[in-house]
Structure 1
Amino acid sequence: MTMFRRIFAAFLLVLCLSHAALAQSASSATAPDYSEWETVASQAEASIDSGEDTNEELESLREQLVTFRSEFDQARKANADRISTLRAQIAALGEAPEDGDEPTDITARRAELNRQLSELLAPVQTAEEAYTRADGLIGEIDDIIRERQTERLLSLGPSPLNPVLWPGTLKDLGEAVSDVATEARVLQDEDKLAAAQEQLPLVLLLMAVATILLARGRRWSTRLGNYLRQFGGAGSGVWSFVISLLRIALPLAGIYALKEALTATGLVGTRGTAILDVLPEMAFVVLGHRWLAEQLFSRNEDDALIQLPQERRTEARFYVNVIALLVVLWGLMDLMFQISEFDRSSEAVIQFPLLVVLGLILYRFGHILRSYRLEAGDDEEEADTGPGSGQGLARLVRIGGLSAQVAAVVSPVMAAIGYGSVSSALLFPMIATLGVLGFVVTLQRFFSDVYGLITGQGQAARDSLVAVLMGLALVVIAAPLLALIWGARVADLTELWTAFLGGFTVGETTISPIDFVTFAVLFAAGYLLTRLLQNALKTSVLPKTRIDTGAQNALVSGLGYVGIFLAAVIAITAAGIDLSSLALVAGALSVGIGFGLQNIVSNFVSGIILLIERPISEGDWIEVGGQHGTVSKISVRSTRIQTFDRSDVIVPNADLVSGTVTNYTRGNTVGRIILPVGVAYGTDTRRVESILREIAEAHPMVLLNPAPSIIFTAFGASSLDFEVRVILRDIGFGLGVRTELNHQIAERFAKEGIEIPFPQQDLWLRNAEALRGENTPQDAPEEAPPTGAQPQPSEDVREFHPDSAGPGEDSDK
């Protein structure tokens, strides 16, 4: 049951670390006892030099050293603020001049400050020296213990396959059976039987309680679970988990009652008492494995965490239960070996068959885990994060199965060679690791169900981001437990925790976790305050001013950048992080970063320029790089433009600052459109001009000041060319106005009988008879084309504004 005790101790590790932190803070209230420290340190040095103390004695001595080290750590930090102030005062006075020409009061003041500083530094220096000595002694003790552990682990013992050892093993077994028989005869003493009869009522009561809980406990839990499942709702998963725990707790209480009943009889003897002491632990191992198998490989496919076929899940549950029984049997054998003092070779021979069977079962179980794959209907594209996600769980299960198979093969082989310690240190930690990881996955689903119950999401919360974060947190919490399972000492973990709390040094600055927490809290508060101010300005203050929309957005964005910068500066200052020591590193990196990020920096600076100068604003209709659209957002790196076909174009800010940008609506939405119009030769041009002017002035979107212009531009190849130039109130409706004016011009020209010409081309064949196969008279005169026939001209229409839809159009944008 050693592995179980290690696992149980890991759950108390966090409490121990918290207690150590509290003790450390409490120890700072009193000064260290240096006389007692000298005694403990001398004893530790003597023990290290002799190398004769046991590991338990060294661990006890180490605990005393750790306590003193904590006191010294607090003592060397005492009066830190006062010492810093004195040093600043001395630095302000400056160095004493070499020629001694200095006012006497300055000299006296410097001497007084140096005296005060020396008095304050004396206990600090003493504590620093003692801290260094204690830390060195702790490191030496840790090295000795690790060397012993490694030597014991790699020591070559007897091989259980050596037939020479078998007779001795049979002899040890016979002696153990004889001792059990002798002990049984001793327990039949009349005085012991009489004492047992006196305890008979208590024994019967406890036996009755044990029988009821063992016989009916699981059934009562099942009935309660079925009753709660009728209500369904978002908490069904939570209630199922709680009921499953009751199916362990009630039988376990029955086992404890049985243990107390047997102990009360006084007829169990030495071996029986030792077994009864670990009986609750063994029951917990068996019931815990059974519960975990039900959670991971449930009979109900919807409740199973590992979605295997039904027959595979049944087989997996069977193997888990068998492994639990074999682990308990192994623990009982270890216990009997300690009581009967078996020879090491006899232990190896007796345990080897059980080890082989356990390896075979574990190998088969690992094969089942390796066969786990997501089905086609599962979330194949699910993020591979967290132990409970689809792909993440599948990969974790397959890796666990492969590791179990490797341990199941290597462990019996190492035991057969004679490395029994290596075999045990590989096989049983692997089983415990699989159990811990399975428990982590189960807990993740339970906490996800609790979150679903609180938020009302139900089982849908199992696929949320919160569930993934919970899984990652559980993995971090389980890391110390896994370290203990694989042979780490509690002292190793506490040492890591102490180093973590001490922080790390960058230059002359020591950064501790408290500094990180302070920085994170203050920066988060500053960021939140900045966002609140931005929202207040954007929704409450700025809309009541006469500032245009672009300037409002620039103010809000600028406030965001300034607020975040100030939040970072305040957080860094409050956390006590000195960035001056990083100046050289930053200077060296700035050159390389400058080349790699020059485009990003250029865009960032350009974004600042855009927000300050505001050549464009959100909502403006612009043209850049051949793209037309309205500005939807100006960020610090790029600007987003929504084109008239409703697609987004991301334009780097540097292109807007250094390139050519046409802003059609900057300052106002007034704009001009030009309509080319052609009429047939012979049409009264004055009449055409009058009609076009009348149509243009009648449109409501056309401004009368300045008035529309009708220009007779040229004598075209097929027509008399005019242009209608009008100024619109909103250029965004240019395409609609253009279409409407063209409709009205066509209707009016048709009503007035004005012809709108179109280009024509007549084709004349010089020798048409040759194409028909006839003889053409030699003296036949060539037939000339009729007068007036002209080749097809190409129409050249000049546009001064893009023939595109404006931001206010409803179609063809």
Structure 2
Amino acid sequence: MLLKLRALPVLLCLVFQFAVLAPAAAQGPENFLQTQREKLSGIEATVDRMEKEVDDQAADDGELVAVRVELERLAREVFDASLAFRPRLTEINTRLEQLGEPRKEGEPAEPEEVTRERTRLLDEKASFNVLIGDAERLSVRINSIVDEIAELRRDLFTRTLSRRYDVSAALSSDVAGEFTQEVGRVYKRVSAWLTFVVKYRLNSLLLATALATIAALALLFGGRRLFGDFIEPDPTETEPTYLSRLSLALFSTLIPSLSIGVFLASTYYFLDYFSLLRSDIAPLLWSLFSVILLVYFVYRLARAILAPRRPNWRLLPVRSQAAQWLLVLAVFTAVSTGFDYFMDQVYSLFGSQLSLTVATSLVATVIVGLLIMAIGGVSPLDDEEGRPRQWPLKFRYLLFALGAAIIIAAMLGYIGFARFLSQQAVVTGAIVATMYIGFLTAGAITSEGAFANSWLARRLERYTAFDETALDQLGLVTGMLINTVVVLIGVPLILLQWGFRWADLTAWSYRIAGRIQVGSLSFSIIGILTGILVFVVGYFVTRWFQSWLDGKVMARSRMDSGVRNSIRTGIGYVGLVIAALIGISAAGINLSNLALVAGALSLGIGFGLQNIVSNFVSGLILLAERPFKAGDWIVAGGVSGTVKKISVRATEIETFQRQSVILPNSELINAAVGNWTHRNKLGRMEIPIGVAYGSDVRRVHEILLEIAKSHPLVLKNPEPFVLFAGFGDSSLDFEIRVYLSDILMQLNVQNDIRFAIVDAFEAEGIEIPFPQRDIHVRSGLFRAQEPDETPKDEEPADEMEEEQDEVPAGRRRRRRKVDPE
């Protein structure tokens, strides 16, 4: 009866929750389950269609890439759908833990509402587990199809390179006539298109050309305005620095090439925007523009490196005549490769015979191989006596081997492999050379004092208050920025040349931009780069504000120079801290995950050397061994507190009463020191509790363990433990032992657990006793009494037992009798 009365409030709460909240909760999860089930069904249907497309488009690399991108998008949707289940599952598991395990046989029966609630939650959890299993199965299937696509693309690429053609058929006399016919077809089609456009759409053509020209000129003149000294060399400078030559080579290649690229791309875009491109002209025009850009880029790069007419600006130490020949050979190599690419697009568009494609590629690749060997045969260097000398042996053999491999592969009929080698020799070689110049430029800028003597630094000194140190640091940032830009532009271009597609790069960029989870810390590469950029901007803004405040505000007052310097330094520290915090927030990193790192970075080292050798040596030992650091909670003798500062003479400890205690380092070395947060902040906390005699100790143990496990700051591993400590004078003693990831939070956890214990014991009717003493005083004189002697006026034993029975349950009273004489 007593058990039923105690459980009545709990039953009323459960009935209210089940009657009022359960219908709404049941309706919500049901709709959610149905929505997620339909979503997964739709994704599975799309995956079925994609799988059929893979089988149908096994020979088309572009279609396979498109299917792969779509599948990876579906995989992300499946992953997001699986994440959507977690909050509800966590809620269900928490609710099941609150309800507890079903009553075992022999235990009192639990209320029917509790049983129904547990059954409903278990059914809902099973439904979620089924959907999670379906999502995992679908994710595995998508990944298997993606792997299959990767395997198909590798096989397709391998077959393209290893396929052998009949070269004899391509060398027949009819091939020349077929080539003339195809060129005539191209001429007729292009001339017909131009005639139609000029006759009927002239205004649109002129407007498209004008807009493209304006875009190109804006880039060209803007680049010359900003980097004029880097694009055109200074004729009065007879001995330019290595940084000046590198900068000239880099910017004189990139700015004009980008201008031509913008003009061609804008022309194509505006022609398509004004509906001037036909479906048979657009591929030809795009291929032609690509070839023009390739040839021009190779020309500008070779001209910037070799500088045939400006020996003092030349990057390579070659002779002027050899530089002219190398420039001509490099341009002709690019023209041959571009011609082969353009004609291949023409043949593909017109559906020409295979023999014509083989013949054109054979001639073009053989010419490229011969040109590469000709470059290796040039004698561009000077020996000690000033006579022409060939390239270094390894580089010359590399060029000969590459050219011979292209020619041999083409003559044996491996046209695909020969074309691949020739294109990589020209296009990839040009990209790698440009990247190498970029890396050299960045390295030259980051060298000490180099950036401070540059043209850009001189302008910054004119308009800002940067000193030489700030300019040198800015040079480091500029070098890092150049390296980053070179990698971000050059690597994708090389990957595109090696058979990858834009869709592949897009998929990789999505993966890189996605969040990476490492334990409880989640971050993304893009977020980290953004945070670094924000921190750099905040750093330079802080330096500018320091200079402005010191030079414009405090300089006008009669403030002491020491105070001014303190204010300037303090503002600098505050600005850097703010910039770091904003950068970390922009990077998407939770500041709570950086507590240990922040504690290590806040380590203070004092340099006030004193004459006490022992303290000095002890301070060096402490700094070297680091038995504790700033921010650690230590116990040294009678002092307990947080380490605030470690210097070479003494260590400052702040107690929890905010008292600063300065301990000599020799005491910390020679005496035992307890460190609660030495390697981490993990620690164990104990909470003693006593209950009255007669309480259900197993139920008490169960309640205490449940309270310990339910606290969010208590670790699950090592798991909490409740110890039945012993039988006390007034209580049955228990002890809660829990582990915290941050032992400094133990006071908050102790408060929470103690409040929970009081509430739980009141709900269960369990009493927490306190020591009691009953003293009976009788009238008369006191006298000593033998142990065997019984006083005449002493109450009978049965009356004493009856009096003890009147003591409230759960309290044990210790009685002391004083008998009169």
Larger Rg: 1
Bigger relative contact order, structure 1 or 2 (CA pairs below 8 A, ≥6 apart): 1
